[in-house]
Structure formats: structure tokens, C-alpha cells
Amino acid sequence: MGIVHKNSETNKKECLLSVIIRTHNSENVIEKAIESVLEQTISKDIYELIIIDDDSADNTENKIKSHDNKIKFIKGKKLGPIKAINIGIKESRGKYYVLLDSDDTFELNALEELLNTIKQNNCDCVYSDYHEIDVEKNEIKTISLKNNILNGIAAGVIFKKKSVNEVNNYDEELFS
């Protein structure tokens, strides 16, 4: 798996929600993703941020470490996206988790809304639509996961960790 850097501040507190970011060579976008998590409207005391870096060769690791006291950082080697997610789930302490790709960001109240919805409805997962920005056309499209929940592997879906563990996490062969 690689070296696991764990910060004592993030490991002392109980945690309700884990945000898992997987990354590889993302130095130009990773800080925006991190900031979108750290600036959420919910209390920072109830969630943790875990980043799995899959052997980046650029400056991604240094960008992550500049926020080190707020992040559990895991360095891997040739993991691939699904194994990185599974490692993040294994290392997470939250009752729930949500995934975020390193080139994506959350709206300020995303975690609050997702967490409230899954708790109020006592379900195994909750998904939300998301916005996709086409920089070349200067357009923003709303993408619905209603008819294709598998499209939401990267962001916008909160899971009850226990339910995913019961099916042995993600199938690493499925997306290899």
C-alpha cells in the first residue's frame, strides 16, 4: 500500500463522515478539491478528509501536505482507482463516506445536505445530481444519476460504510 501519514489531530476525534479523495498527478487541481471539503458548512469535528495518492510524479504530494494537519494522507503505488477507494474505505473512521475525485469540488453545503438526507431516510446510499462544466463551450450542464447510479462513482453519492463493507467493498476486478 505504501506509506500512511496519519495526523494525530484527525485521529483523536470521533467522526461521522469520511470524505475520500483519490488522486494521481493532480497538482493543478487538488488544492481546489481539498478547499471545497475544508470549507463545508458542517462542523469540521464530524468529518475527516482522506487522500489516497496513487504514485504521483508531479507536485501533488507537496500540495496535499501543505494542508497536512487536516488530512489523513496515504501514499500508494500502482493501485488503480478502485483499489485506492477500497483503501480509503478501510482507513476511514466515519459511519458514512463520500467520494470526491481530485479534479472535482463540492458546493459549500453538499456534505451537510447529503448527510442530513441519508440520516433522515435511514438508507444505504443517497445520490445527488451534479454540474459538469464545459470550459471550451462555457456551459454548465446538470447531470442526473437517476438512471445511471454507476456514473456517480466519483462524487455526489454518500454511502453507509457498513452496507458497502457487507458486500466486500468495490470489486477491484470490475474496473481493472
The pLDDT score that the predictor gives to residue 43 is 94
Residue ranges per structural domain of the chain:
4-165
The pLDDT score that the predictor gives to residue 150 is 55
CA gap 156, 154 in Å, rounded: 7
The pLDDT score that the predictor gives to residue 8 is 38
The pLDDT score that the predictor gives to residue 129 is 75
The pLDDT score that the predictor gives to residue 25 is 94
Predicted confidence pLDDT, tens digits, the chain (176 residues): 454 555 535 455 679 999 999 999 999 999 999 999 999 999 999 999 999 999 999 999 999 988 868 899 999 998 888 899 999 999 999 999 999 988 888 889 999 999 999 999 999 988 887 766 666 787 777 777 666 655 555 567 889 999 888 887 777 777 65
What architecture is domain 4-165? Alpha-Beta Complex (3.90)
- Spatial contact of 175 and 81, defined as CB atoms under 8 Å apart: yes
CA atoms within a 13 Å half-sphere pointing along the CA-CB vector of 142: 4
pTM of the model: 0.86
Answer positive or negative: Cα dihedral of 19, 114, 139, 39: negative
